[in-house]
Amino acid sequence: MKAYSIPENIAISDSGFIFLPTTGETFTLNETGKTIFKYFQQKRNLDEIINSLLDEYEIDRLTLERDLEDFILRLKSLNLLVEL
Amino acid sequence: MKIAVTGLNATDNPGPGVPVIRSLYYSKDFAGEIIGLIYDALEPGIYMDNITKRNYLIPYPSSGLQNLYERLVYIQQQEKIDVIIPTLDSELFGFVKLEDKLKKLGIKMFLPTFEQLNIRAKDKLFDFCKGNEINVPKNILVSSLIDLMKIPEEFEYPVVVKGIFYDAYIVNNFEEAKTAFLKISSKWGLPIIIQEFLKGDEFNVVALGDGSGQTVGAVAMRKLYITEKGKGWAGVTIFDNNLIEISKKVIEKIKWRSGMELEFIKSSETGQYYLLEINPRFPAWVYLAPNAGQNLPYALLQLALGNNVEKFDNYKVGTIFVRSSWDLITDISTLEKISTQGEI
């Protein structure tokens, strides 16, 4: 099972606004994105994140896993997430 | 204490004069009067409230240094100026040449030397960087259209065609390079610089060198909004130790004595910073620095006065500037006075 972590210098505000202090880039996450991002910050593993999201949202596992994978790829490409 | 500042042309290509003055006022220890030195009766800085106490027209450096000196002698008789802070590239050589004569009039400045100015010139920067292991985009100098034929031997298109003082165009083929060459050379002369095009994000650093190789302070910024002329209209302070360390290395190697702006590009291919340009004066966004915790213009004033300054070691990341246009309304008599009497 792959594990991920948020780089130390990245902070997210309550409104879902992210500022990268080394590059000046800014991003805004929606509610779902914010929830997932915070799970990564809490160092939860992927299984835990999937189970938590299945509890919170009305969605089947297959769709959730596919969407989560897309989101992870996006975060990685923006240097907001690193694979451990 | 009276401080004279140039570059009050706060237009769509703003000069650094007004932000330098605002930085001085920002210091709670500043208790001087500001005198504006202007080249044009419509420089917006003189129409702003609470920026300058009085203003004087001065001749363009191209009209001869003796004219400028004589005008400054007159102004000095009226004002007893303690320090002049020149803020424009085009006038720096003139003020450096006049430094000793102005000192005799009681006017201090904190300027780079001729040698330092030359090292950072656009046509010399490549050699300086190569000699000091600082990443720099590859470039060649060309002086004729025939020289443009060399481009494919040295580079892959696109390349950047740059003027020796101003202007730059990204070109994709020989025809475009030719058009850019003719456009720039007719305006700014020869040689023309052909520079490797690097894809990536641009970062700028405002810094102050004390002349001994030490960096008094340095603040890094990323432009958030860029105008058609390439000017940053909004920006945010960022911190990347690599960027600050390269800037300190440049200051150490040149022993830079004055304010400066370093322009970098972070290659999206290599992740490395490449030094694009060194501007020999504070940038128009310098007012961001005191607001982030480093009042570099005030520190420069202290150095000009011969006072010791403490080095800044940090600043607030995430401080933003957003520039705005603001119409100033005044009576025609203001313009009449500055146009006919040369002072207001």
DSSP conformation class of A57: S
Token couple for B135: 């990443």
Residue of B nearest to A26 (CA): B224
User: Within 13 Å of residue B47, how many CA atoms lie on the same side as its CB?
Assistant: 20
**% of residues, chain B, pLDDT over 70:** 100
Token couple for B20: 């330098």
Give the H/E segment covering residue A25: none
**SS3 of A18, please?**
strand
pTM attached to this predicted model: 0.91
The pLDDT value recorded for residue B56 is: 97
From first to last of the 84 residues of chain A, give the pLDDT tens digit. 678 889 888 889 999 999 999 999 999 999 999 999 999 999 898 999 999 999 999 999 999 999 999 999 999 999 999 988
- Per-chain mean pLDDT for chain B: 94
Radius of gyration of chain B measured on its C-alpha atoms? 20
pLDDT at B19 over 80: yes
pLDDT at B250 over 90: yes
Token couple for B31: 């208790």
* Single-letter amino acid code for the residue at B23: S
**Residues of chain A found within 8 Å of residue B236, distances taken between Cβ atoms:** 19, 24
- pLDDT-based confidence at residue B65 (cuts at 50, 70, 90): very high
pLDDT at B12 over 80: no
The pLDDT value recorded for residue B283 is: 96
Instruction: Judge whether B1 and B32 are in contact, CB under 8 Å.
Output: yes
To the nearest whole angstrom, how far is the Cα of A25 from the nearest Cα of chain B? 8
Q: How far apart are CA B213 and CA B232, in angstroms?
A: 29
The pLDDT value recorded for residue A11 is: 83
A/B interface, count of CB pairs below 8 Å: 24
Token couple for B178: 């030719």
**Residues of chain A found within 8 Å of residue B224, distances taken between Cβ atoms:** 24
To the nearest whole angstrom, how far is the Cα of B321 from the nearest Cα of chain A? 13
Cβ contacts of A41 within 8 Å, gap of 6 or more: A6, A12
* Averaged pLDDT for residues B186-204: 90
**SS3 of A49, please?**
helix
* Single-letter amino acid code for the residue at B81: I
Backbone angles phi, psi at A53, to 5 degrees: -70, -35
Q: How far apart are CA B187 and CA B72, in angstroms?
A: 29
* Single-letter amino acid code for the residue at B90: S
Give the H/E segment covering residue A47: helix A46-56
* Averaged pLDDT for residues B35-54: 95
The pLDDT value recorded for residue B92 is: 93
Helix, strand, coil percent values for chain A (each to nearest 5): 45, 15, 40
Chain A touched by B234 (CB under 8 Å) = no
pLDDT at B229 over 80: no
The pLDDT value recorded for residue B150 is: 85
pLDDT at B48 over 80: yes
pLDDT at B85 over 80: yes
* Averaged pLDDT for residues B90-100: 94
CATH of A4-83, one of 1.20.1070, 2.40.30, 2.20.28, 1.10.10: 1.10.10
- Which is more confident, A9 or B111? B111
Chain A touched by B271 (CB under 8 Å) = no
- Domain borders along chain A are 4-83
**Residues of chain A found within 8 Å of residue B317, distances taken between Cβ atoms:** 21
* Averaged pLDDT for residues B255-260: 97
Chain B touched by A21 (CB under 8 Å) = yes
HEC letters along chain B: CEEEEECCCCCCCCCCHHHHHHHHHHCCCCCCEEEEEECCCCCHHHHCCCCCCEEEECCCHHHCHHHHHHHHHHHHHHHCCCEEECCCHHHHHHHHHHHHHHHHCCCECCCCCHHHHHHCCCCCHHHHHHHCCCCCCCEEEECCCHHHHHHHHHCCCCEEEECCCCCEEEECCHHHHHHHHHHHHHHHCCCEEEEECCCEEEEEEEEEEECCCCEEEEEEEEEEEECCCCCEEEEEEECCHHHHHHHHHHHHHHCCEEEEEEEEEEECCCCCEEEEEEECCCCCCCCHHHHHCCCHHHHHHHHHCCCCCCCCCCCCCCCEEECCCCCCCCCHHHHHHHHHHCEC
The pLDDT value recorded for residue B97 is: 95
Q: How far apart are CA B41 and CA A20, in angstroms?
A: 43
pLDDT at B61 over 80: no
Instruction: Tell me whether residues B318 and A21 touch, CB distance under 8 A.
Output: yes
Instruction: Tell me whether residues B236 and A24 touch, CB distance under 8 A.
Output: yes
The strand order across the sheet containing B232-238 reads B273-279, B257-267, B200-210, B215-226, B232-238, B320-322
**Residues of chain B found within 8 Å of residue A20, distances taken between Cβ atoms:** 238
Torsion angle, alpha carbons of B102, B113, B6, B38, to 10: 70
Instruction: Judge whether A18 and A40 are in contact, CB under 8 Å.
Output: no
Instruction: Judge whether B23 and B289 are in contact, CB under 8 Å.
Output: yes
Interface probe with A: pick from B202, B221, B236, most Cβ of A within 10 Å = B236
The pLDDT value recorded for residue B226 is: 86
pLDDT at B165 over 80: no
